[in-house]
Chains A and B, each alone.
Chain A
């Protein structure tokens, strides 16, 4: 009898023998026919990862990515049929690989790929009208807390991950070596990563955690400029409502 435990184990571990009890149509051993399933599983998961991590593919090349993906999928096959979420832990896996230690920013750039997919499938929400902010008196504004669209994702890194992502995906200037905070925003259906100015990551992080507007501003340094951050959030429908 061929149980699914035996059939399943050999799919992800090519070192295991072909399970007993499998045949061709003439009662001969199945041989490489079992390999068709082995290959289908590996290729479909690898392709799903490559599609989900375009910037990692761009950074290390498809061949190297395929090696990483094969090792990852054997260790961490999906645990849900929702392939849109598969690979969320690939950045941690990448960070653990000795042979990629010379590219310490890779995992954080991979987190942009994960966040872009999460944002793409996040619940829809509409942005507030700028008038809702303009009508508030100063005291009310400072005590207001912001609620954000589910598609907004803030990523903070000691590496210039936004510049590396843009350089890899869109071309342009070579990235420089400073830390960057990146926010993924989805104005309608297409998520886009934006590099935040100095202090903006601190403010947005505080706002996301329910800190009132006035207290969040105090968290920023002297070189923080509020206007570009508010413009970015408003034009990308990122603020879903205000709580006074």
Chain B
């Protein structure tokens, strides 16, 4: 196990990228302008082998964000104690600069569905999510960040707006937030509200990290635009504009470019990171 005492305490206000193993040698030879890396927690829960060996090397050089995709914090059932223990093991040896998870569920009746599924925003779901976050933070012994979802539909029973729901979760649990501006753009388009209005109502003081990613375009039954959060292409211009709108209010934040399917060569990902770097430069100017 590596010596975690050299770990980086915080994510820097620089561009980061979602780490893909095919970029390992590119990153070691010249990562600029990338200043930190994010990994999906579940890919590093094997017993050994190359994934963990690479992560040890990267963690010596870069602040690492551990991003969970399988905890099912929004699930109706209890958190999976085995999975929580695996997360604790990973966070204990790696001592990442950040740990984040999703406002979503993925496990039900012991089935893991490998997708981030939506939940209604009610006082009951709020209490349940807050309890789960308390359990995560006390088990890991660290603050976590909670990410807003990409929504394709809404629940008739919801009584809270997403921004009010997140604000109240932060107030009750002391967690931070991971603001995915692409998800905001996707949800706002799909559910017919203003993405800028969402940002204006969002508790930006709690943001510890911002995500950027690409999406695909489709249509619903009525011909209305239906955007799909695919992480398989460049970030579109309106999402970069929404980032500028956000940074102008929040000040600089760690910015992450996510690209998970049809992963491009390093130079294309580095170009996206450069675009994120210039957004940070503009806000400091």
Contact = CB atoms under 8 A, between A and B. Distances in A.
A145 B169 CA distance: 57
Given A2-B120, A24-B224, A11 B113 contact: yes
Contacts of A124: 48-49, 53
Interface stretch (A77-85, A92-100, A165-173, A227-235): A77-85
A23 B153 contact: yes
B115 interface: yes
Interface in A73-132: 77-84, 120-124
A190 B46 CA distance: 15
Given A2-B157, A81-B83, A150 B113 contact: no
A120 B51 CA distance: 9
Contacts of A151: 48-49
A123 B111 CA distance: 26
Given A24-B224, A26-B192, A81 B48 contact: no
B175 interface: no
A1 interface: yes
A134 interface: no
A142 interface: no
Contacts, number: 145
Contacts of B72: 81
Contact of B106 (A2, A81, A84, A189): A81
Contacts of B106: 81
Nearest to A22: B153
A31 B71 contact: no
Given A5-B109, A24-B153, A44 B47 contact: no
Contact of A121 (B48, B120, B156): B48
A37 B83 contact: no
A146 B114 CA distance: 40
Contacts of A81: 42, 69-72, 80, 83, 106-107, 112, 114
A150 B47 contact: yes
Given A24-B224, A81-B107, A121-B47, A36 B152 contact: yes
Contact of B228 (A8, A11, A28, A36): A36
Interface in A207-226: none
A4 B71 contact: no
A64 interface: no
A121 B49 contact: yes
Contacts of A37: 115, 117-118, 152
Nearest to B122: A1
A72 interface: no
B75 to A, nearest CB: 7
A32 B221 contact: yes
Contact of B153 (A34, A121, A122, A186): A34
B108 A79 contact: no
Interface in B184-214: 190-193
Interface of A: 1-5, 7-8, 11-12, 21-28, 30-34, 36-37, 40-41, 44-45, 48, 77-84, 120-124, 150-151, 186, 189-190
Interface of B: 42-43, 45-51, 53, 69-72, 75-76, 80, 82-83, 86, 105-115, 117-120, 152-157, 190-193, 218, 220-222, 224, 226, 228
